[in-house]
Amino acid sequence: MATIVQKFGGTSVGDVSRIKRAAQRIKQERDAGNRVVTVLSAMGKSTDALVELAHDISESPDKREMDMLLSTGEQVTISLMVMALKEMGISAVSLTGWQAGIKTEPVHQNARITGIDTERVESYLNEDKVVIVAGFQGMSEDGEITTLGRGGSDTTAVAIAAALNAESCTIFTDVTGVYTCDPRVAKQARQLQSISYDEMLELANLGAGVLHPRAVEFAKNYQLPLIVRSSMVDAEGTIVEEEASMEQNLVVRGLAFEGAVTKITIERLPNEYDSMSNVFSALAGSGIDVDIIIQQLTGENELNVSFSIHTQKLEEALEILNTRQELLGFKQIRHEEGLAKVSIVGSGMVSNPGVAANMFSCLAEEEITIKMVSTSEIKVSAVVPEVDMVKGVEALHKAFDLDAVKEAEKVTS
Amino acid sequence: MATIVQKFGGTSVGDVSRIKRAAQRIKQERDAGNRVVTVLSAMGKSTDALVELAHDISESPDKREMDMLLSTGEQVTISLMVMALKEMGISAVSLTGWQAGIKTEPVHQNARITGIDTERVESYLNEDKVVIVAGFQGMSEDGEITTLGRGGSDTTAVAIAAALNAESCTIFTDVTGVYTCDPRVAKQARQLQSISYDEMLELANLGAGVLHPRAVEFAKNYQLPLIVRSSMVDAEGTIVEEEASMEQNLVVRGLAFEGAVTKITIERLPNEYDSMSNVFSALAGSGIDVDIIIQQLTGENELNVSFSIHTQKLEEALEILNTRQELLGFKQIRHEEGLAKVSIVGSGMVSNPGVAANMFSCLAEEEITIKMVSTSEIKVSAVVPEVDMVKGVEALHKAFDLDAVKEAEKVTS
């Protein structure tokens, strides 16, 4: 008998009727003769409601107490799910994070899983019960309730699957799978049958948003096949695995893009051994995520440094840098808002020289100015004017043959 | 430094503003130099909302899963309370039932506390923190979340107070104290300054409803002074302790009453050694609470048995008895609806013969028919027509000098 781990996100268990629908999905796996562990998020908007309550009391609520508060959300869902399963005649039991043996760092709001003691889960599986586990939460060694931060339930599911040596981990969500690019923006987007961990990691990090990068990393480390599929529609999903078995001829498997990018340039920074470190430590210390960084010598002892950040952080970044102008010793700062980042991702790039050049040609044909570039083994990103973002994505989608990807078919079960 | 335990019920923490008001109360005790442990119930109607969710899924939800579901209610309140305290600059920490070391029987929905491991609570108290504990919940030895059933939070508070050797346990509620009788019904009702455990137990069991009998029993066993007072109004409460120190001249300290009583009479039951046992086991097996029981020999080998039950249970009781008529061997069943039970309670009765006689005379003067009577060391109950209940209560209140009890005064703090 194979052990299967599933995870349903908040919208998939958003109300009683959706919980019942998810219970049907669990029953399918069960009827297929599998041992089933299901990880659940909190119901739809219930976390938001709890956060609002907390903010009615405190502008910056204590992190430990936020974990205490928010971890109730999943506890509600898991108990309701077991009730729904029992109504269908299925033997099931719910476990909170601490009951399921999810051990984490002693950190609140953003703890990492340090280990899983699967004894209790396994003993219930051996009693032929479906085990329903609260996602997003765990317990530190000193008995504190912790939460895992964004994407936490995905991580719980993958970690449990790894610890149980499960055959696979299925993430049920509100989309039918992983797409060549965001279908809400580019109508040419095609659903992929498979994608590699590394490609998925690049796409997750680039904001494709279907899977949390921590979950993908975990799955990669344990070589656990990860399946993304819809909890609403009965359709084939996308499998994330070591080597994308299908469609291997694709050099580029996906496109990612994000708007609201701002480029900041620090001009005439002294070229000293700690200049770069001083600049980026100051920004990191205030929690400002810097994306692409370009450094350019402009004189014997002077640099220009450009980097991109989210436009939301612009004011804060400028303030941090300006208040340190004397210390850092630069001449002036310029910035350019209204930009976007467009990226192509594909393992096939490694063995295909000239992919970046093809990307630049494609953008040039569309008369799109490239402001910054960054590359990795399997990714090329270009910062372009935000007004040209969609046009660029559509042109790249076509240029790299993604328009021709065959869609996964709907399954009639 | 004295250790003080407090408990706030659901209405006292029903919304954010009430939570803040309760936080002020906690601050008062804290400012007075005490080590404070506060036990909280779930916010107002939040338990009802969770029960409704469960019933949308299942008509008879699994008990274990109900505990999993309902225990989230207090977890929400305790975290919000700590946030409110921290806003006021008070160092505090919340603990769920299992974190606070509340150990219970392995029973769901109605578990008894078997012990309390106070290590964690004490270590936080030693760090000079206010400790906020989730009431109503605990953990069984096998790591299951359990709940204590009705009045559970009172029991949690008293049990923790006993385990910590606290100076007292204050139950903050929506009334200002314990009254000579229900002030909603009898306008003559007076608030008592003090009452003994035994008197309180009789009144609690008789449905006065201010304190749960389990909590009173616990307090009695540990000789822990229990204070009932209002969370809304700053007024003196009522102290429940071994010997009611004030007003000791009162023979009767309180009146209790309840309507919707039905008297059932089983006529001509064979007088065999197991007849009574057969009748009442059958009723108990279906969860029907029988109150007063009267047995009367009517012939050499025949009995009449009368007993009172809540009118809600009448149909069920009749069905149980009628379907067993052959087995039990009785001739017929009669019943009388529209009755009420009126009780007088007071430790002073023990040394005052004739209290029952005084009660009967008082009711006779009002021309109230007595249908059944039951007595204990410190209580006399009479079943009377429900239409006469309030009239009877008011007459008894006067006859036993309760109209003259001096009211506790409001405190201006």
**Structural domain contains residue B45:** yes
Residues 6+ apart with CB under 8 A from B146: B67, B97, B104, B105, B106, B107, B108, B111, B137, B138, B139, B140
Amino acid at A112: R
Judging contacts by C-beta atoms under 8 Å, the chain A residues touching residue B65 are: 79-80, 82-83, 86, 94
In this structure, the answer to whether residues A128 and A275 fall within a common structural domain is: no
Tokens 């530190």 locate to A140
Could you tell me which residue, B374 or A143, shows the higher pLDDT? A143
Whether the CB of B251 is below 8 Å from some CB of chain A: the reply is: no
What is the CATH number for B22? Answer: 3.40.1160.10
Return the pLDDT at A410: 47
Are residue B363 and residue B259 in the same domain, yes or no?
Answer: yes
Q: Which among B55, B80, B139, B141 is the top mutation candidate for probing chain A, defined by the most A β-carbons within 10 Å of its own β-carbon?
A: B80
Residue B345's Cα: distance from chain center in Å?
A: 15
Residue B325 within a domain: yes
Residue B238 and residue B247 in contact, taking contact as beta carbons nearer than 8 Å: no
pLDDT of residue A219: 93
Q: What is the pLDDT along chain A (413 residues), one digit of tens a residue?
A: 899 999 999 999 999 999 999 999 999 999 999 999 999 999 988 999 999 999 999 999 999 999 999 999 999 999 999 999 999 999 999 999 999 999 999 999 999 999 999 999 999 999 999 999 999 999 999 999 999 987 899 999 999 999 999 999 999 988 889 999 888 888 888 898 889 999 998 887 776 678 888 899 899 999 999 999 998 888 889 999 987 554 456 789 899 999 999 999 999 999 888 888 889 998 988 888 888 998 888 888 898 999 999 999 999 999 999 999 999 999 999 999 999 999 999 888 877 778 888 999 999 999 999 999 988 888 999 999 999 999 999 999 999 989 888 765 544 43
If asked whether residues A169 and A259 sit together in one domain, one would say no
Q: Is residue A211 part of a domain?
A: no
Q: Do A68 and B78 touch (CB under 8 A)?
A: yes
The one-character DSSP state at B271 is -
ipTM of the complex model: 0.80
Contacts of B132 in chain A (CB under 8 A): none
Q: pLDDT per residue over B342-368, tens digit each?
A: 999 988 887 777 888 899 999 999 999
Measured CA to CA in angstroms, residue A117 lies from A139, A164, B175 at distances of 11, 10, 48
- The predicted pLDDT at position B407 comes to 65
State whether residue B192 sits within 8 Å of chain A by CB: no
Residues A149, A25 within the same domain: yes
Considering the domain architecture, whether residues B46 and B141 belong to the same structural domain is answered as yes
For CA atoms B317, B318, B324, B330, the dihedral sign is positive
Mean pLDDT for B40-57 is: 93
Whether A347 maps to a domain, the answer reads yes
CB contact under 8 A, A120 and B99: no
pLDDT exceeds 70 at position B249 = no
Q: How many CA atoms lie within 13 A of A345 on its CB side?
A: 25
Same domain for A164 and A262, yes or no, is: no
Domain match, B384 and B281 both? yes
| Residues A133 and A7 grouped into a single domain | yes
Domain C-terminal end among B124, B156, B174: B174
Map chain A to HEC letters.
CCEEEEEECHHHHCCHHHHHHHHHHHHHHHHCCCEEEEEECCCCCHHHHHHHHHHHHCCCCCHHHHHHHHHHHHHHHHHHHHHHHHHCCCCEEEECCCCCCEEECCCCCCCCEEEECCHHHHHHHHCCCEEEEECCEEEECCCCEEECCCCHHHHHHHHHHHHCCCCEEEEEECCCCCECCCCCCCCCCCECCEEEHHHHHHHHHCCCCCCCHHHHHHHHHCCCCEEEEECCCCECCEEEECCCCCCCCCCCCEEEEEEEEEEEEEEEEECCCCHHHHHHHHHHHCCCCCCCEEEEECCCCEEEEEEEEEHHHHHHHHHHHHCCHHHHCCCEEEEEEEEEEEEEECHHHHHCCCHHHHHHHHHHHCCCCCCEEEEECCEEEEEEEHHHHHHHHHHHHHHCCHHHCCCCCECCC
What are the structure tokens assigned to B160, written together?
């923790």
Measured between alpha carbons, how far is residue B362 from residues A220, B142, B186, B391 in Å?
85, 56, 17, 11
Chain A CB contacts of B87 under 8 Å are: 57-58
Quick check: A75 contacting B, CB < 8 Å? yes
User: A143, B99: Cβ pair inside 8 Å?
Assistant: yes
Q: Same domain, yes or no, for B272 and B374?
A: yes
Q: How far apart are the first and last CA of chain B?
A: 22
The structural domain count of chain B equals: 2
Q: Is B52 on the interface with A (CB under 8 A)?
A: no
| H/E stretch holding B7 | strand B3-8
Q: Does A1 touch chain B (CB under 8 A)?
A: no
Q: Is A114 on the interface with B (CB under 8 A)?
A: no
Same domain, A162 and A264: no
The pLDDT > 90 percentage for chain B reads 67
Contacts for A293-301: CB closer than 8 Å, 24+ residues apart? A294/A372, A297/A271, A298/A267, A298/A268, A299/A268, A300/A271, A301/A270, A301/A271
pLDDT score recorded for residue B207: 66
Q: Does B53 touch chain A (CB under 8 A)?
A: yes
A73 to chain B: closest CA residue: B72
Compute the C-alpha angle A215/A22/A197, nearest 5°: 20
Q: Does A87 touch chain B (CB under 8 A)?
A: yes
- Secondary structure of chain B: what % helix, strand, coil (to 5)? 40, 30, 35
> How does pLDDT run across B120-158, given as a tens digit for each residue?
999 999 999 999 999 999 999 999 999 998 789 999 999
Q: What is the DSSP string of B25-87?
A: HHHHHHHTT-EEEEEE---TTHHHHHHHHHHHH-SS--HHHHHHHHHHHHHHHHHHHHHHHHH
| Judgement on whether residues A42 and A133 belong to the same structural domain of the protein | yes
Of B142, B174, B206, at which residue does a domain stop?
A: B174
Of A174, A205, A227, which closes a domain?
A174
What is the number of CB-based contacts under 8 A between chain A and chain B?
A: 98
In a domain? residue A113: yes
* Higher per-residue confidence, B160 vs A251: B160
Q: What is the DSSP letter of B402?
A: G
Chain B nearest CA to A265, separation (Å): 41
Which pLDDT belongs to residue B132?
A: 98
Which A residues in the span 126-185 are in contact with B, Cβ-Cβ below 8 Å? 143, 145
B276: domain CATH number?
A: 3.30.2130.10
Instruction: Report d(CA B104, CA A137) in Å as an integer.
Output: 24
Spatial CB neighbours of A342, under 8 Å, sequence gap ≥ 6:
A255, A256, A257, A363, A381, A382, A384, A389, A392, A393, A396
Q: For residue B20, give the chain A residue with the closest CA.
A: A57
Nearest by CB: A86 against B58, B78, B82: B58
Nearest-Cα distance to chain A for B69, in Å, is 5
Residue B301 burial (CB < 10 Å; 0-12/13-18/19+)? exposed
Across the interface, whether the CB atoms of B69 and A80 are under 8 A apart is answered yes
How close A86 gets to chain B, by Cα (Å)? 8
Distance to chain A for B130, nearest Cα, Å: 14
Determine the Cα angle at A44 with ends A175 and A255, to 5°. 30
Residue B111's pLDDT is what? 93
**Which domain range does residue A287 map to?**
255-402
Interchain contact, A120 vs B143, CB within 8 Å: yes
pLDDT at A407: 65
- A357 falls within a domain: yes
Q: Is residue A222 part of a domain?
A: no
Of A58, A72, A86, the CB nearest to B86: A58
* % of chain B residues with pLDDT over 70: 96
Query: Does residue A238 form part of some domain?
Result: no
Average pLDDT of chain B, as a whole number: 91
